[in-house]
Chains A and B, each alone.
Chain A
């Protein structure tokens, strides 16, 4: 860990303004950032602790949705009765992630912004375009069993590790932000994450030091909510494949995937094929996949996991 300065912000505007300092980063739950600082993967020179700026409420929106403050803890979000009743996919996804202790600390915005768990990203001796742009990708011809099969590039095959974001993708969540100059904006989650291309170190479309203030869930859409996270051990592991599904009585639905791409993977135009079954839907959803030899099984696994979800919830 390198030396850094620290300040505690009192309001979102103050936090955003403080972020104009060079080398500054926001510190929320710290469950990912502090680990990365210890390994010198992240080396901020200034930390702005946003733990006391509020933004920790879940409130109804005028059109019947919910606004989740950026600092609402994962534990509180998963347990909220409104979330459990109307957005079950989100609660289930959250509870499939991390551990109780981590969820107690981890925040909504921090969860969206967590970094990949590609093992090469974590070893500073190894080339990694995400950690050290231009150095190369060790994973492409290395240990890639866990890594992305779609949306990835020759520069990076890292996956986005979040479960929560997969559910939010299926829910068409909208991310609200404030910039250092005080301007606010809304970004639909479908346009929030970038694909790696040749610049895998750029992971979202947030401007530098733009602060997430909340995530808005639109009006509930009903349906059966499913989150199936497939992994080698039963808990406390990242997904090989996860399927977040909202299934409607008419046979239609929305399905987003985790564990397969640099961002939660959803192709809305493919969803009209859901009534035709897992095989047709999955092949459209995964069109253009470019797996490695080690992770090609994920394509079969995606189809099987979707098929299991459809079978169990339609029978």
Chain B
């Protein structure tokens, strides 16, 4: 099915099942511990051995020698894989990391060897007996130090162009009546998902099956084939359940490569999970940014010039953190500039983490807007509303498909009680606590991609859906089931959803906030085709046939849905593809975040007291799942605001706090009641589902709203995340 024109009325608009706050259909499996995650698929393999990765002890240099004698002689050891015996390994097409070091070491904890043994404990003990001699080389670990060496990166597959220029930014900024020119930083951040990267790999001849934990099956097959140099057809990946990804499991990482190599070397299935420290220094992370923002405005608050520059670093060939993305679209202003710069760093690879670019970009832009409102003596909500635009500010005439930023801000302000905010910082105190309120806009792109599905109808009227979409804790199972149930006119419990298997029709997987809208559209297309087959089997006119209550009817002719399959299951497969609508319209999601904090007047401890988010993201397929996505994102935003930072030891070149004790993410006690308002809407330019993603929108702007609230409470403006008490102390003494 090719989607080329805005959607009209279709079966989804019945909203009998779509749009209802439905519990997750796989929820009971998860709450009873019976959902099988990658490492737990013991029923699939016999005689399994265990792999353990030894990570590099240095950040940059070469391996001169590995003495394996003690490790080889250790109890239970079956094989040891190093670069010397692994064969040729290539890199994937998304991550640039090499998954086995040697002789070069590219970053700390890069895999040096994989030890395979009869038990996990034996593999771990033997790994510690490997004697690795290194020759250290000088590395580059400090973005501040190499910022001036940063280059303009080449255009990337995702994210904005490295440079954009509209009008005369420099001239307009120079002559602006009111100006802001500030520099902000966001630190290296970890996805810190609960489930580690883990794989069970099994070879049968030259066919490889891996039970793994990755978000995009199609990229996974492509990349593993490329890395191992084997045909894609020989690889099957299965990820039925995923214990959190946040972009950190996009495609193949060291666990998949190491388990595959280890299983080949040992001649047995191998299971392998990354140790927690390796999740920080071996995999990918959101890289640090340095961002300079300049805003010029008239005295009446109309923005005349807006510029956003961002510097980040990465391994050679790695991508740029595209922090300027949101600034291109969020506010009006005739003269605009964005610029990305990339330096080389010898830390683990920087890559996608939930709302890549947009999350760190909004962390800074929305502080800048708060600062600018104060300079203009304007209310921060009013300042944002004044600079709303209904057209792409870089391409006047190109409309947003839908844009309700103003409504988000106004609805949130009213619900939150924004009028009670005192614009003068430090003016509200309750006991020992200083109280402050902050706001930020939210914006996140709404990408959508081709997606296929197969649906099967049996004679009892039940439907089975198959697509290689994944569920990373987001609710994919449920919304896919809801889509099929709505299309076929049956109850949700008559639908079986099978996902997370690369042998199923290809979807774009979970990432970039595209999964929900894309995969359900693929299911729509397949169901649309199945409806035609059903109608034709029953001798009905598909244009007139009604699918509802488990029946197919046209006038006084009515059949049970299963009747169409009484001579055998009916199977339909289709793929949705797209025309030019996303070029014609700017398709984006919007929102607003309101936060109240309390800051201890003696210790400057910061505690969030209230949060309200308003989201505008097209049709909400399942308000319960969507709300869960948003409150999770708001929680992640509090972490980014107040505590999350992978600290670089710039002498050695590694992230020091490489476990969940050292890398703090919010706990229950940090998170107050969170209110989420989902604006009712549809976006017919997106797909027949008229839906957009929401999981990343919920994060964009949250941290800035917290930081702005801290400023309102204390009068201290912290421009370097995370906003911690020492940074406030420093500015109040």
Kindly state the separation between the CA atoms of A127 and B185 in the bound complex, as whole angstroms: 30
Kindly state the separation between the CA atoms of A301 and B600 in the bound complex, as whole angstroms: 11
CB distance from A15 to the nearest CB of B (A): 25
Kindly state the separation between the CA atoms of A305 and B600 in the bound complex, as whole angstroms: 10
Residues of chain A contacted by B58 (CB below 8 angstroms): 125
B125 at the interface (CB under 8 A from A): yes
Q: B75, B121, B603, B669 — which one has the most chain A CB atoms within 10 A of its CB?
A: B603
Q: Is the Cβ of B432 less than 8 Å from the Cβ of A311? A: yes
Q: Is the Cβ of B432 less than 8 Å from the Cβ of A304? A: no
A117 at the interface (CB under 8 A from B): yes
A122 at the interface (CB under 8 A from B): yes
Kindly state the separation between the CA atoms of A3 and B126 in the bound complex, as whole angstroms: 11
Q: Is the Cβ of B726 less than 8 Å from the Cβ of A1? A: no
Interface flags for A9-28 (1: CB within 8 Å of B; 0: not) read 00000000000000000000
CB distance from B145 to the nearest CB of A (A): 16
B643 at the interface (CB under 8 A from A): yes
Q: Is the Cβ of A297 less than 8 Å from the Cβ of B57? A: no
Q: Is the Cβ of B656 less than 8 Å from the Cβ of A233? A: no
Residues of chain A contacted by B662 (CB below 8 angstroms): 117, 119, 122
Q: Is the Cβ of A308 less than 8 Å from the Cβ of B603? A: yes
A230 at the interface (CB under 8 A from B): yes
Q: Is the Cβ of B602 less than 8 Å from the Cβ of A308? A: yes
Known: A143-B647, A297-B730, A300-B729. A3 touches B657 (CB 8 A): no
Residues of chain B contacted by A38 (CB below 8 angstroms): 124
Residues of chain B contacted by A138 (CB below 8 angstroms): 649, 652
B661 at the interface (CB under 8 A from A): yes
Partner of B669, one of A143, A235, A240: A235
CB distance from A34 to the nearest CB of B (A): 12
Kindly state the separation between the CA atoms of A232 and B661 in the bound complex, as whole angstroms: 12
Q: Is the Cβ of A232 less than 8 Å from the Cβ of B664? A: yes
In the complex, which residues 267-315 of chain A have their Cβ closer than 8 Å to any Cβ of chain B? 297, 300-301, 304-305, 307-308, 311-312
In the complex, which residues 108-155 of chain A have their Cβ closer than 8 Å to any Cβ of chain B? 117, 119-120, 122-123, 125-126, 138, 141-143, 145
Known: A142-B649, A234-B669, A308-B602. A240 touches B128 (CB 8 A): no
* Least CB separation from B124: chain A residue: A1
Residues of chain A contacted by B432 (CB below 8 angstroms): 308, 311-312
Q: Is the Cβ of A301 less than 8 Å from the Cβ of B603? A: yes
Residues of chain A contacted by B600 (CB below 8 angstroms): 308
Partner of A237, one of B649, B658, B664, B725: B664
Known: A1-B121, A119-B656, A230-B725. A311 touches B602 (CB 8 A): yes
Q: Is the Cβ of B656 less than 8 Å from the Cβ of A125? A: no
Kindly state the separation between the CA atoms of A3 and B652 in the bound complex, as whole angstroms: 31
Q: Is the Cβ of A233 less than 8 Å from the Cβ of B603? A: no
* Least CB separation from A43: chain B residue: B128
Q: Is the Cβ of B725 less than 8 Å from the Cβ of A122? A: no
Known: A120-B656, A122-B659, A233-B642. A305 touches B666 (CB 8 A): no
Kindly state the separation between the CA atoms of A301 and B432 in the bound complex, as whole angstroms: 15
CB distance from B434 to the nearest CB of A (A): 12
In the complex, which residues 7-66 of chain A have their Cβ closer than 8 Å to any Cβ of chain B? 38, 40
B149 at the interface (CB under 8 A from A): no
- Category for how many chain B residues contact A: 35 or more
Q: Is the Cβ of A125 less than 8 Å from the Cβ of B57? A: yes
Partner of B605, one of A2, A230, A300, A312: A230
Q: Is the Cβ of B658 less than 8 Å from the Cβ of A123? A: yes
Q: Is the Cβ of A234 less than 8 Å from the Cβ of B667? A: yes
Interface flags for B4-28 (1: CB within 8 Å of A; 0: not) read 0000000000000000000000000
Known: A230-B605, A301-B729. A2 touches B658 (CB 8 A): no
Kindly state the separation between the CA atoms of A230 and B599 in the bound complex, as whole angstroms: 12
Q: Is the Cβ of A143 less than 8 Å from the Cβ of B730? A: no
CB distance from A139 to the nearest CB of B (A): 9
CB distance from A158 to the nearest CB of B (A): 14
Q: B277, B643, B652, B666 — which one has the most chain A CB atoms within 10 A of its CB?
A: B652
In the complex, which residues 638-676 of chain B have their Cβ closer than 8 Å to any Cβ of chain A? 642-643, 647, 649, 651-652, 656-659, 661-662, 664, 666-670
Partner of A123, one of B75, B277, B722, B726: B277
B180 at the interface (CB under 8 A from A): no
Partner of B725, one of A142, A236, A238, A301: A301
Interface majority SS (helix, strand, loop, mixed), chain B: loop
Kindly state the separation between the CA atoms of A141 and B650 in the bound complex, as whole angstroms: 10
* Least CB separation from A304: chain B residue: B602
- Category for how many chain A residues contact B: 35 or more
Q: Is the Cβ of A305 less than 8 Å from the Cβ of B664? A: no
Q: Is the Cβ of A232 less than 8 Å from the Cβ of B643? A: yes
Known: A2-B125, A123-B277, A308-B602. A235 touches B730 (CB 8 A): no
Kindly state the separation between the CA atoms of A230 and B656 in the bound complex, as whole angstroms: 22
Q: Is the Cβ of A235 less than 8 Å from the Cβ of B667? A: yes
Q: A40, A119, A301 — which one has the most chain B CB atoms within 10 A of its CB?
A: A119
B423 at the interface (CB under 8 A from A): no
Residues of chain A contacted by B729 (CB below 8 angstroms): 297, 300-301, 304
CB distance from B33 to the nearest CB of A (A): 16
In the complex, which residues 214-271 of chain A have their Cβ closer than 8 Å to any Cβ of chain B? 228, 230-238, 240-241
Q: Is the Cβ of A233 less than 8 Å from the Cβ of B664? A: yes
Q: Is the Cβ of A119 less than 8 Å from the Cβ of B657? A: yes
Kindly state the separation between the CA atoms of A187 and B280 in the bound complex, as whole angstroms: 42
Partner of A234, one of B601, B658, B659, B670: B670
Partner of B666, one of A123, A126, A233: A233
Residues of chain B contacted by A297 (CB below 8 angstroms): 725-726, 729-730
Kindly state the separation between the CA atoms of A165 and B670 in the bound complex, as whole angstroms: 25
In the complex, which residues 154-202 of chain B have their Cβ closer than 8 Å to any Cβ of chain A? none
Q: B128, B666, B670, B726 — which one has the most chain A CB atoms within 10 A of its CB?
A: B726
Kindly state the separation between the CA atoms of A269 and B647 in the bound complex, as whole angstroms: 38
B719 at the interface (CB under 8 A from A): no
Residues of chain A contacted by B124 (CB below 8 angstroms): 1, 38
In the complex, which residues 64-86 of chain A have their Cβ closer than 8 Å to any Cβ of chain B? none
Residues of chain A contacted by B431 (CB below 8 angstroms): 312
B724 at the interface (CB under 8 A from A): yes
B607 at the interface (CB under 8 A from A): yes
Residues of chain A contacted by B722 (CB below 8 angstroms): 232
Kindly state the separation between the CA atoms of A311 and B57 in the bound complex, as whole angstroms: 49
Residues of chain B contacted by A125 (CB below 8 angstroms): 57-58
Q: Is the Cβ of B657 less than 8 Å from the Cβ of A143? A: yes
Residues of chain A contacted by B661 (CB below 8 angstroms): 117, 238
Known: A234-B669, A236-B667. A300 touches B733 (CB 8 A): yes
Residues of chain B contacted by A1 (CB below 8 angstroms): 121, 124-125
Give the A-binding residues of B (Cβ under 8 A).
Answer: 57-58, 75, 121, 124-125, 128, 277, 431-432, 600-605, 607, 642-643, 647, 649, 651-652, 656-659, 661-662, 664, 666-670, 722, 724-726, 729-730, 733
A sample of 19 cross-chain residue pairs with beta-carbon separation below 8 angstroms, ordered by A number, consists of: A1-B121, A38-B124, A119-B657, A119-B662, A125-B57, A145-B726, A230-B725, A231-B605, A232-B643, A232-B725, A233-B666, A233-B669, A234-B670, A235-B667, A237-B664, A304-B603, A304-B729, A307-B602, A308-B602
Question: Beyond the given A142-B649, A308-B601, could you list 15 further A-B residue pairs with CB under 8 A, ordered by the A residue number?
Answer: A1-B121, A119-B656, A119-B657, A120-B656, A123-B277, A142-B656, A143-B649, A145-B647, A232-B642, A232-B643, A232-B724, A241-B603, A297-B725, A301-B603, A301-B726
Q: Sorted from nearest, which 3 A-B pairs have the closest CB atoms?
A: A308-B602, A234-B669, A235-B669
Give the B-binding residues of A (Cβ under 8 A).
Answer: 1-3, 38, 40, 117, 119-120, 122-123, 125-126, 138, 141-143, 145, 228, 230-238, 240-241, 297, 300-301, 304-305, 307-308, 311-312
